[in-house]
Amino acid sequence: MRSSNKLKVSLAATAVASLIAVTGCAANQPAGSAGGGTDKLEITSWWTSGSEADALNVLIDGVKKSSSGLSVDNAAVSGGGGANARQALAARLQAGSPPDSWQLHPAGQLKSYVDGGQVADLTDLWTQNNWAAQMPKDVAEAQQVGGKYYTVPIGVHRGNVLWTNPAVLSKANVTIDSATGVDGLIGSLKQVQAADVTPVCLGDKDIFASAELLESIIMSRTGADNWKKLFTGGYSFDSPEVKQALEDYKTILSLSNKDHSAITWDEAAKKMANGSCAVNLMGDWAYGELLNAGKKPGTDFSWVTFPGKEDVFDYVGDGFSIPAKNIPHADAANAWLKTLMDPKIQTEFAAKKGSIPALTTADISKLSPYQQEAAKSFAKASVVSSLAHAQASTAEFAQTYADAVSTLNGSGNVSAFVASMTQAQKTQLK
């Protein structure tokens, strides 16, 4: 008995030891946390895919040129539409060892960092350089919380773009026109289905892809003003327009590839360009991704604004902030922010990333036809913030929305979605 007990103990000990060895207990060491000179700069972002990484390199090369001898530590974290990077950042902020600068979305997401006292007030830098005068009012306002600037915008993305495959559409003898609204779109997609082709490519392994499709439909049905009121409590998720949008969403989901929850957004965009289906809704970061995959705009893929009752621009902004406390390399961080606001850098960045420059002083004539079109639309469309990217409201509200979309994808239960969102409107919008 005793020997078998000893054996048991030694077995358990070996197993525990090997578990620890295999699973690994290495701690995350934040890089570059010492010193205060200009020789080093650490930045975090969620730009890791091909086109995103290329665009980020434009910025890194730019800041290296402006301050010679600077070494830049690119601490990008991939996945989850930025959710993973934000988790990693939250852990570092909590530990008091922030990077020199980090990527974030303006408005709602910026506000949670401001409320937490984590981002530095950049108002002086803005007034010194007169940046506000060089960009549309909507963009400048989104960089503020309580009248003060806390971030600089590097680019403007559009969330509600419908990417199309011209060959598939013409084979099915279907055209998609933004002016025909959501009903027109569903009619066209059903025609595609009748021609024995999957109408919609969707890749929502990361739920933001579904969340973005649904928000595009909701803002198409409600219009820009009511969309904005959803986040102030002035308009309910329990309204006929939102419910109609949810039914539309279910229809479009039924017209999508069956394996949508198993593939990622970029895989879905490429599937569309390869002719597996006719359309794919995705923000215009898909443009850079498709170019990177060797697809030709106009022939392999084309685009329309997501059809709706008015021209709505679903704004997903990218910006950078610097920490309010414990900044490791303050001078390098300042040089970094100034580099981001250089019109030439913004143009170069936009060319790689597929976004449009936030600065109107940036030259867009050399950008792609899509970007020139988006820049023009941005100037005249109604601009609203994206909820799927936690820009329209707080992180908590955005997470509730993402969870509700996941639930809806499984059950198709519209009233449960409406119930949880109206509840969130009551309790979370304060």
Q: Is 16 in the site for another protein (CB under 8 A)?
A: yes
Options 123, 127, 326, 415; binder of another protein; rule CB under 8 A: 415
- Cβ proximity to another protein, 285 vs 401, nearer residue: 401
Identify which range of 41-49, 131-139, 251-259, 372-380 contacts another protein by CB under 8 A.
251-259
Interactions with another protein, residue window 325-344 (CB under 8 A): none
Q: How far apart (Å, rounded) are the C-alpha atoms in residues 106 and 120?
A: 14
**Residues 202/280, Cβ–Cβ less than 8 Å:** yes
Options 53, 90, 125, 304; binder of another protein; rule CB under 8 A: 90
Options 254, 299, 326, 413; binder of another protein; rule CB under 8 A: 413
Handedness of CA 395, 401, 405, 407 (dihedral sign): positive
Q: How far apart (Å, rounded) are the C-alpha atoms in residues 365 and 345?
A: 14
Options 41, 43, 63, 83; binder of another protein; rule CB under 8 A: 83
Q: Is 146 in the site for another protein (CB under 8 A)?
A: no
Please tell me whether residue 233 adopts helix, strand or coil conformation.
coil
- Cβ proximity to another protein, 180 vs 407, nearer residue: 407
Q: Is 261 in the site for another protein (CB under 8 A)?
A: yes
The nearest distance, CB 32 to another protein, in angstroms, is 20
Number of residues that bind another protein (CB under 8 A): 52
For 388, the enclosing helix (H) or strand (E) is none
CB environment 9-43: b (16+ within 10 A), e (fewer): eeeeeeeeeeeeeeeeeeeeebebbeeeebebbbb
Q: Is 403 in the site for another protein (CB under 8 A)?
A: yes
The nearest distance, CB 78 to another protein, in angstroms, is 12
Which value, in Å, is the radius of gyration of the alpha carbons in the chain?
23
**Residues 292/1, Cβ–Cβ less than 8 Å:** no
Please name the residue that has the structure tokens 């709505």: 312
The nearest distance, CB 67 to another protein, in angstroms, is 29
List beta partners, residue 280.
163
**Residues 111/397, Cβ–Cβ less than 8 Å:** no
For the beta carbon of residue 259, count every other beta carbon within 10 angstroms.
Answer: 13
Identify which range of 108-116, 221-229, 233-241, 368-376 contacts another protein by CB under 8 A.
108-116
Question: Which stretches of the chain bind another protein, using CB under 8 A?
Answer: 1, 3-5, 7-8, 11-12, 15-16, 19, 22, 83, 86-87, 90, 93-94, 112-113, 115-118, 204-207, 257-263, 394-396, 398-399, 403, 406-411, 413, 415-416, 419-420
